[in-house]
Amino acid sequence: MSLGGTEIRRAKLRFGLLTVAVSLLVFLILLLTTLSNSLISSLVGALEGLDTDGLVYAAAAQDTIAASRLAPETEGAVAAVPGVASVSVIGTFTTRGEVAGTDEDIQVFGFRPGEPGQPTALSDGSLPASGSEAAVDGVAAVGDTVVIGGRELKVVGTLRGARFNALPTVYVTWGAYDEALRAANPGLPFVPVNAVAFTVDDPEDVTSVAMAIEGAVSGTRAYTLNEAVGSIPGIDSITQSFGILVGLTFIIGIVVIGFFFLILTVQKMRTFTLLRAIGSSTGRLASTVALQITVVVVLASLIALALTVLAVRGIDTGIPATVDPATVIGTIGAVLVFSLLAGLLSIRRIARIDPASAVGSR
């Protein structure tokens, strides 16, 4: 067995405590990142998952689709702008409804099937094709029913990551949306459009086409899809807040690992000096430290991953949360890389050892 592995085997308590400490820190990073991604997805997932290149709101909407009110003729005006390939309308409102037998607040989205603006995050079933059908991101399954404005719709599809305002979100055809909104607002002279979704002839030209729409259609503000998502009030604050928490936890974890191995190296300086004196190279001793760091981080990450999965399954946050494999791999990879970089402090001390000092000469 290598020198590093032998030391871990003989000092199980010391390395075990470090592994536990690092696993808790990695667990906290993974949990905060998962909750942050899930929260943001539940707030803006409906927009992120739209099949469109860009969106047009009313200029007075302050970057919020729910506050936007456009006249029906805006659709035709946007379609006439050079560079626009196709357009369609999107409507959304919040109401009280029933989803799979549970009465709760829901977000309703209306769209035209097969046109820009339809959802893409389908996980089971199909999108609604008639006014009696709906697709739901919420506690519902294919075959359940939802009730909106006193009208019962059959759930023909379920979505994942397609919520808005952290509410169960129901997607219906434009005809069903028209009826539901009129039922919720008796006497409504016409059903306003919240947004016009548009696609462009050249995907590289989305920004310039959006600017052209603003110039050609008065009283509107046009966005690329990413701009529309990023402009939602409060999203930046949430992202920054969670980012600070995750960043601080990450830094603490790296500092703990770096200083632990630095202290360990200082305590073993006499041993390392003797090993250098009998011919051990700096590279071999450095690889011992790197091996120990890798073993500790990998074991700690496996423990942290298990804890994160259990926590996500056990915590009822009111929003759907899942552990994203890409997030896990990225987090563990970053912890390992920066831990090895922190280990350079120990390796630097090893490299400065004078083998002659083992026999008292300078």
Q: What secondary structure does DSSP assign to 80-140, as a single string?
A: TSTTEEEEEEEEEEEEEEEETTEEEEEEEEEE-TTSTT-B--EEEE----STTEEEEESS-
Q: Please say whether the beta carbons of 212 and 54 come within 8 A.
A: no
What's the pLDDT at 304?
92
Is 269 found in the same domain as 201? no
What's the pLDDT at 136?
92
Question: 267, 265, 253, 281: which is closest to 337 by C-alpha?
Answer: 253
What's the pLDDT at 315?
73
Cβ neighbours of residue 69 closer than 8 Å, sequence gap 6 or more: 58, 61, 192, 193, 194
Is 101 found in the same domain as 209? yes
Joined tokens for residue 212: 């052209």
176: number of CA atoms within 13 Å, CB side? Answer: 26
In this structure, of 32-36, 116-120, 281-285, 331-335, the range with the lowest mean pLDDT score is 281-285
- Given phi > 0 = left and psi -120 to 50 = alpha, else beta, which region is 356? alpha
328: number of CA atoms within 13 Å, CB side? Answer: 16
Question: 173, 88, 179, 159: which is closest to 129 by C-alpha?
Answer: 173
Joined tokens for residue 103: 């009465």
Q: Is the pTM of this model over 0.75?
A: yes
Is 289 found in the same domain as 261? yes
Confidence of residue 1 (pLDDT cuts 50, 70, 90): very low
Model confidence over 271-297: pLDDT tens digits?
Answer: 666 666 666 666 676 778 888 888 888
Alpha helical stretches, state H, the chain: 3-10, 12-48, 74-79, 174-184, 206-216, 225-230, 235-267, 269-277, 282-314, 325-342, 344-351
Question: 44, 12, 326: which is closest to 165 by C-alpha?
Answer: 44
Model confidence over 292-326: pLDDT tens digits?
Answer: 888 888 999 999 999 999 988 877 666 677 788 88
For residue 94, the enclosing domain spans 46-230
Q: Please say whether the beta carbons of 33 and 327 come within 8 A.
A: yes
Among the candidates 230, 251, 272, a domain finishes at 230
Is 215 found in the same domain as 179? yes
Amino acid at 266: V
Is 321 found in the same domain as 220? no
What's the pLDDT at 288?
80
Q: What are the backbone dihedrals phi and psi of residue 266, each rounded to the nearest 5 degrees, phi first?
A: -60, -40
Model confidence over 229-254: pLDDT tens digits?
Answer: 888 877 777 788 888 888 888 898 88
Q: Please say whether the beta carbons of 339 and 254 come within 8 A.
A: yes
What's the pLDDT at 266?
73
Q: Please say whether the beta carbons of 321 and 309 come within 8 A.
A: no
Cα 167 from Cα 105, distance rounded (Å): 7
Cα 74 from Cα 209, distance rounded (Å): 16
Coil vs helix vs strand at 324: coil
Model confidence over 69-123: pLDDT tens digits?
Answer: 998 899 999 999 999 999 999 999 998 888 888 888 899 999 999 999 999 888 8
Among the candidates 230, 253, 279, a domain finishes at 230
Neighbouring-strand partners of residue 194: none
Is 94 found in the same domain as 179? yes
Is 140 found in the same domain as 85? yes
Among the candidates 230, 254, 273, a domain finishes at 230
What's the pLDDT at 276?
62
Q: How many domains does the chain have?
A: 2
Cα 231 from Cα 16, distance rounded (Å): 46
